[in-house]
């Protein structure tokens, strides 16, 4: 039987804002609209400083209506292959409602592991939902 991916990623989408109330501070842009959803961004300063066995430089949490919708884990330097290997080796259950993106940003020398609710991957055109690729 496969494990839950959140056991390794630490932050569970749909968790409530109150669960992090004393471990986060609001950061710019304080609120923005993405795919007709209002997201409020926070930086996490709690006890979690390592995810998937690597030290995290910065953790950003994005909430909509007090529900966690997106998580960005930032690692120093290019860790794409290392994280990709770690994710591949895990025997985990990954929910269908979640999208994961792993990328390296050369100008900042930072690797970003972002996961979010799939509803943020879509845009709306006169009430018809279309997938963005």
Exposed/middle/buried for residue 130 (C-beta within 10 Å: 0-12, 13-18, 19+)? exposed
Tell which residue, 66, 67, 62, has the closest CA to residue 30: 62
pLDDT confidence bin for 4, thresholds 50/70/90: confident
Lowest average pLDDT, out of 55-59, 86-90, 105-109, goes to: 86-90
pLDDT at position 93, please? 76
Residue with tokens 């930032």: 74
CB-facing half-sphere around the CA of 68: CA atoms within 13 A: 25
pLDDT (mean) for 30-41: 92
16 DSSP assignment: B
**16 pLDDT more than 80:** yes
Is residue 132 scored above 60 in pLDDT? Answer: no
Predicted pLDDT at 104? 97
Better-scored residue on pLDDT, 54 or 120: 54
Residues pairing with 92 in the sheet:
3
DSSP state of 105: E
Q: Are 7 and 16 in contact (CB under 8 A)?
A: no
Helix or strand holding residue 88 (H, E): helix 80-89
What per-residue confidence (pLDDT) applies to 130? 44
């Amino acid at each position: 039987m496969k494990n839950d991916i959140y056991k390794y990623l630490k932050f569970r989408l749909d968790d409530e804002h109150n669960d992090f109330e004393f471990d986060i501070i609001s950061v710019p842009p304080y609120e923005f609209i993405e795919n007709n959803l209002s997201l409020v961004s926070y930086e996490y300063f709690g006890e979690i400083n390592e995810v998937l066995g690597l030290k995290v430089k910065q953790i950003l949490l994005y909430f909509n209506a007090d529900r966690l919708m997106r998580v960005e884990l930032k690692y120093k330097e290019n860790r794409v292959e290392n994280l990709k290997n770690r994710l591949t080796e895990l025997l985990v259950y990954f929910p269908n409602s979640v999208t994961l993106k792993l990328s390296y940003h050369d100008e900042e020398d930072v690797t970003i592991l972002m996961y979010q609710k799939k509803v943020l991957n879509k845009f709306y055109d006169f009430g018809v939902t279309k997938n963005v690729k």
